[in-house]
Amino acid sequence: MIRLVFIGIFICFSSIIAQTHNFDVHKISAEITPNLENESVSGELSFSFNTSQDTDSIFLDAKNMAAQIMGSDIKVSLNISEDKLWFVGDFEVDETYNINFSYQAQPKQTLYFVGFEDDAKTNDQVFTQGQGKYTSHWLPSIDDMNDKIEFDLSIIVPKFYGALANGKLIEQWKENDSLSRWTYDMKKPMSSYLVAISVGDYKREIQQSNSGVDLHQYLLKKDSLYLEPTYRHTKQIFDYLENKIGVDYPWQNYKQVPVRDFLYAGMENTSLTIFSDAFVVDSIGYFDRNYVNVNAHELAHQWFGNLITETESKHHWLHEGFATYYALLAERQIFGDNYFYHKLYQYAESLKSASDNGKGEKLLKPNASSLTYYQKGAWALFMLNQIVGEDVFDRAVQIFLNKYAFQNVTTDDFMNEVKALTNVDLSDFEQQWFKQSAFQAEQALEALETSLFIPEYFELIAKRPLDISKKIGAIETAFDFPINIYIAQEAVSQLASEPANDEVIQLYQSAFNTGNLWVRQAISESLTEIPLALKSAYETLLQDQSYQTRENAFLHLWMNFPKDRKRYLNQMQNQDGFRDKNLKQLWLTLNLATPDFQADKTTQTYQELAQYTSPKYRFQIREHAFGYLYQIDAFSDQVLINLLDGCFHHTWRFRDFCRQLLKTLLKNPTYQSQINNLKPKLNDKALTYLNKIQ
Ligand SMILES: [Zn+2]
C-alpha cells in the first residue's frame, strides 16, 4: 500500500449529490479578507449565472454565513438558510444575470489558520482544503462538482504576508499602509472543491517546463534552505507527465506550497497544489521522506480530476487511479524499473490481503476505500495497458481528455475511447477489474513476472521458511554487486530470525559492507538484538545519511549496550534529524532514561522534551513528544493541558491520537486525579470533553 507512514493517506472523497439544480453558475469573482485575529473571513462576491427554465430562486452553497446584497441587474432579495444563500427574483430562461453581495463567516472547517500560537509572524499560515471539506464553508460557491465555474479571487492580507490562489497573479496592490491585495485570474472553469488560497511569508522560485509553463515552488522564507531537496525532480516530473499524457497542461501556471498541519499528504487544487510540510526536507531527509510521489500524484490530477471530473463518486477512480498510476510512471523515470514493479507488487499484496479477508471492493463502488480507488484503480490501468498495448492506451487517454476537457465524465466515457481504437474484446477486463470485488491476484502476479527482477525476487521470498543452511548461497548472492535493494532487503529480513552463529555473522558483515543505505537501513530495522561481533559495524549506522537509520541504530545500541550509553548520547547530541525532530527527541528521552548521565540537568532536559507537546509546534513534533513521555511515564500538568488541547486539533489523525492517549491515562488512578485537579485551568471545550469521557 502507498501508505505514508508518518502521514496517512491521500485524501479520500466523500459522497456527492448529483446535480439537480436548474441554473448554471459561470463565473465567481470574489475579494476575500481572512481575519487572522479571530480566524474568520469576510468578502465581496459577484457571480453570473443563467437558468434552464423560468424560476423565482437560485442559490449558492454557503455554510453558516451572513450576507448582504450590494447590487444586481435585476431586483433580487436574499434568504439565508444554514447551508445556502437563496437569491429570490424573477429569473427568465436563457438570460444571464449578475449579482453582487458581501458576506462574513467563521468557518468551522476547510479554512485553517496555523502558526499563530507563537510571536513569530514568519511561521504563520492560512490555507484551505476543499475536497471532502467543502469550499462553501469559506466561499459561497456550488458544492456539486458537476457545475464548473471560473473563479477569479483577490485576497487582502497584512502587508507582511504573500497570498496565493488559483490561476495567475495579475495584480499585487498596496491597499493601504498595512494591507495588500493579491489578485488572481483564471481562464477556465473548475469544480468548487478545487478552489484554494494560502497565505504566508513565502519565498518563491520559478522554473519553466519544456513547454513554457511557469512552475512556482513556494516555501516559507525561514525554510529557504530546504527548497532544492524538497522540490527535487519537479521539472522532470512535469515534463515527463505532460509529454506522456499528450495533452498540454491545461492551466496558466503550476504552483506548489507546503503548509504546516495539513490534513492529508497533498491536495491538487487547480494550479495550486497544497501539501504537507512533512515533505519539506534537507538532503538527508530526502532519502526517507521525499515529496516525489506526492508531487507527481497531485500534478497528474491537474488533468485527471481537474480538467476532466467525475460525475459522481463511483467514478472516483478516474481521479485517484489515474493519479496513482501516472505518479508511478513518473517515478519509474526517476527511480527505475525495479522501483516501479516493486511498488506494483506492494499494491497487489495489499489488495490481495484485503480481498482474501473479504474486504475486496468493486472499483466502481460509490464511496469505496482509498485502497480501491487508488491502488486497485492503478492496477486496472496497468492491466489495461498490458492488454491493449501502450500505443492504444496512450492515444485513448489523449482523445478522452481532449474530448471531455472542462467537463464531467464517467468510466464508460473513458472505455468507449479505448474500445474505438482496438479490436480486443474488453468485456472480460471490465467484468474482472471494474465489477468484481475480489482482486485478480493471479493475473496481477503473472503480469508482474514480465519484469526481469520480480521472478528472482519471488524466488528468494519462497525461501523464507527454509533453514539457513539451504539458502546461504542465495542470501550471499543478494549482497553481491550490483545490489538490487529489494532482493537485498528481503535477504536481510530473512537473517533476522536466525541465531547469530558464525555463518550468520558473516552474512551480516557482507550486508554492512555493501555500503548501500537501503540495505543498511534494513539491518537497523530488523537486527534489534545486536551480537557483540557486529557491535562496531552496527555503530557505523549512526553516521549513515539517513535520519531513520540513525534513529533505529541509536535506540538499539542504547538498549543493547548499557555501558556505552553515555558514549552514544555524546555522539548523538545536537542532531535534530527530520523536521519532526526524531533524533533530538529520542536523544532527550534516552537522556532522561539514563539517570547517571547529566543528572544535574534532568529537569532542563525534561522541560525541553515536554515543551514539544505545546500547540506552538507542528503536530508531528507534538505526537512524537507525547509518545516518548508516555514511554517514560512522565506527564507534567502542562503536558496534560497540551494533550487536552490536541484533542481538538483539526488534523483528525493527531486528534484521535491525543484522545486515545488521554483515555489510556485516565485508566491510571494517579493520572486520573492529576487530570481532574487541572479542571480549574481548562477552557470550556476541554472541560466539557473531559467530563463527557469519564
Ligand atoms: Zn489523489
pLDDT tens sequence across 529-549: 999 999 999 999 999 999 999
Percent of the chain topping pLDDT 70: 96
Domain residue limits at 84: 23-301
Ligand 1 centroid from CA 236, angstroms: 20
Ligand 1 centroid from CA 26, angstroms: 26
Looking at the domain assignment, is residue 97 inside a domain?
yes
Ligand 1 centroid from CA 305, angstroms: 9
In this prediction, residues 60-75 reach a mean pLDDT of 96
The strand pair at 202-208 and 214-220 is best described as antiparallel
From 106, 103, 37, 105, select the one nearest 70 (Cα to Cα). 103
The strand pair at 168-174 and 202-208 is best described as unpaired
- pLDDT given at position 5: 35
Ligand 1 centroid from CA 298, angstroms: 6
For residues 227 and 411, give the distance between their C-alpha atoms in angstroms, rounded to a whole number.
Answer: 39
Ligand 1 centroid from CA 386, angstroms: 23
Ligand 1 centroid from CA 374, angstroms: 8
CB 553 within 8 A of CB 524: yes
Ligand 1 centroid from CA 319, angstroms: 7
For residue 225, give the DSSP letter.
G
Ligand 1 centroid from CA 207, angstroms: 24
Ligand 1 centroid from CA 327, angstroms: 10
Ligand 1 centroid from CA 328, angstroms: 13
Query: Are both 275 and 160 inside the same structural domain?
Result: yes
Ligand 1 centroid from CA 300, angstroms: 9
- pLDDT given at position 602: 64
Ligand 1 centroid from CA 100, angstroms: 34
Ligand 1 centroid from CA 265, angstroms: 9
- Residue where a domain stops, chosen among 572, 593, 609: 572
Looking at the domain assignment, is residue 12 inside a domain?
no
Ligand 1 centroid from CA 297, angstroms: 6
Ligand 1 centroid from CA 68, angstroms: 37
pLDDT tens sequence across 563-579: 999 999 999 999 999 99
What type of residue is 83?
A: D
- Confidence band, pLDDT 50/70/90 cuts, at residue 10: very low
- pLDDT given at position 387: 97
Q: How far apart are the first and last CA of the chain?
A: 37
Ligand 1 centroid from CA 127, angstroms: 18
Ligand 1 centroid from CA 268, angstroms: 7
- Residue where a domain stops, chosen among 416, 448, 480: 448
- Residue where a domain stops, chosen among 391, 418, 448: 448
Query: Are both 288 and 314 inside the same structural domain?
Result: no
For residues 134 and 26, give the distance between their C-alpha atoms in angstroms, rounded to a whole number.
Answer: 19
Query: Are both 414 and 501 inside the same structural domain?
Result: no
Looking at the domain assignment, is residue 107 inside a domain?
yes
Looking at the domain assignment, is residue 404 inside a domain?
yes
CB 260 within 8 A of CB 220: no
Ligand 1 centroid from CA 383, angstroms: 20
Ligand 1 centroid from CA 219, angstroms: 22
Give the dihedral of Cα atoms 212, 335, 1, 391; nearest 10 deg: 60
Regarding predicted confidence, which is higher, 1 or 447?
Answer: 447
The residue to which cell 469573482 is assigned: 29
Ligand 1 centroid from CA 239, angstroms: 19
- Res 295 pLDDT > 50: yes
Query: Are both 506 and 537 inside the same structural domain?
Result: yes
Regarding predicted confidence, which is higher, 605 or 33?
Answer: 33
Ligand 1 centroid from CA 317, angstroms: 9
Ligand 1 centroid from CA 11, angstroms: 6
Ligand 1 centroid from CA 355, angstroms: 22
Ligand 1 centroid from CA 293, angstroms: 11
Query: Are both 468 and 437 inside the same structural domain?
Result: no
Query: Are both 292 and 324 inside the same structural domain?
Result: no
Ligand 1 centroid from CA 510, angstroms: 41
What is the SS3 assignment for 449?
A: coil
Query: Are both 73 and 222 inside the same structural domain?
Result: yes
CB 306 within 8 A of CB 318: no
Ligand 1 centroid from CA 430, angstroms: 23
Ligand 1 centroid from CA 506, angstroms: 45
Query: Are both 172 and 284 inside the same structural domain?
Result: yes
In this prediction, residues 509-530 reach a mean pLDDT of 98
Ligand 1 centroid from CA 204, angstroms: 24
Query: Are both 292 and 321 inside the same structural domain?
Result: no
Ligand 1 centroid from CA 629, angstroms: 35
For residues 590 and 554, give the distance between their C-alpha atoms in angstroms, rounded to a whole number.
Answer: 9
- Confidence band, pLDDT 50/70/90 cuts, at residue 6: very low
Residues 6+ apart with CB under 8 A from 499: none
For residues 138 and 110, give the distance between their C-alpha atoms in angstroms, rounded to a whole number.
Answer: 7
Helix (H) or strand (E) holding 317: helix 317-335
Ligand 1 centroid from CA 9, angstroms: 9
For residues 27 and 444, give the distance between their C-alpha atoms in angstroms, rounded to a whole number.
Answer: 46
Ligand 1 centroid from CA 163, angstroms: 24
Regarding predicted confidence, which is higher, 217 or 604?
Answer: 217
Ligand 1 centroid from CA 428, angstroms: 27
Query: Are both 410 and 285 inside the same structural domain?
Result: no
Regarding predicted confidence, which is higher, 651 or 12?
Answer: 651
Ligand 1 centroid from CA 555, angstroms: 35
- Confidence band, pLDDT 50/70/90 cuts, at residue 333: very high
- pLDDT given at position 175: 74
Q: What is the CATH number of the domain that holds 347?
A: 1.10.390.10
For residues 547 and 585, give the distance between their C-alpha atoms in angstroms, rounded to a whole number.
Answer: 12
CB 535 within 8 A of CB 571: no
Ligand 1 centroid from CA 425, angstroms: 30
Mean of per-residue pLDDT scores for the chain? 94
Looking at the domain assignment, is residue 592 inside a domain?
no
- Confidence band, pLDDT 50/70/90 cuts, at residue 1: very low
Ligand 1 centroid from CA 8, angstroms: 13
Looking at the domain assignment, is residue 14 inside a domain?
no
Ligand 1 centroid from CA 58, angstroms: 32
| Number of domains the chain is built from | 4
Ligand 1 centroid from CA 231, angstroms: 18
Query: Are both 184 and 35 inside the same structural domain?
Result: yes
Looking at the domain assignment, is residue 213 inside a domain?
yes
Ligand 1 centroid from CA 503, angstroms: 47
Q: Give the cell for residue 304.
A: 485527471
Ligand 1 centroid from CA 13, angstroms: 9
Ligand 1 centroid from CA 337, angstroms: 23
Ligand 1 centroid from CA 307, angstroms: 14
Ligand 1 centroid from CA 691, angstroms: 39
Question: The pTM is what?
Answer: 0.95
**Paired strand residues for 126:** 113, 199
Ligand 1 centroid from CA 669, angstroms: 45
In this prediction, residues 647-662 reach a mean pLDDT of 97
Give the dihedral of Cα atoms 395, 400, 402, 406; nearest 10 deg: -150
Ligand 1 centroid from CA 211, angstroms: 24
pLDDT tens sequence across 459-504: 999 999 999 999 999 999 999 999 999 999 999 999 999 999 999 9
Residue-wise DSSP of 537-585? HHHGGGGSS-HHHHHHHHHHHHHH-GGGHHHHHHHHTT---STT-HHHH
Ligand 1 centroid from CA 504, angstroms: 44
Looking at the domain assignment, is residue 585 inside a domain?
no
Ligand 1 centroid from CA 267, angstroms: 7
Query: Are both 193 and 282 inside the same structural domain?
Result: yes
Q: What is the CATH number of the domain that holds 170?
A: 2.60.40.1730
Ligand 1 centroid from CA 313, angstroms: 13
pLDDT tens sequence across 590-649: 999 887 655 445 678 999 999 999 999 999 999 999 999 999 999 999 999 999 999 999
Ligand 1 centroid from CA 130, angstroms: 13
Which segments of 189-245 are extended strands (E)?
Answer: 197-200, 202-208, 214-220
pLDDT tens sequence across 82-121: 999 999 999 999 899 999 999 999 999 999 999 998 889 9
Ligand 1 centroid from CA 361, angstroms: 18
Percent of the chain topping pLDDT 90: 92
Ligand 1 centroid from CA 649, angstroms: 23
Ligand 1 centroid from CA 264, angstroms: 10
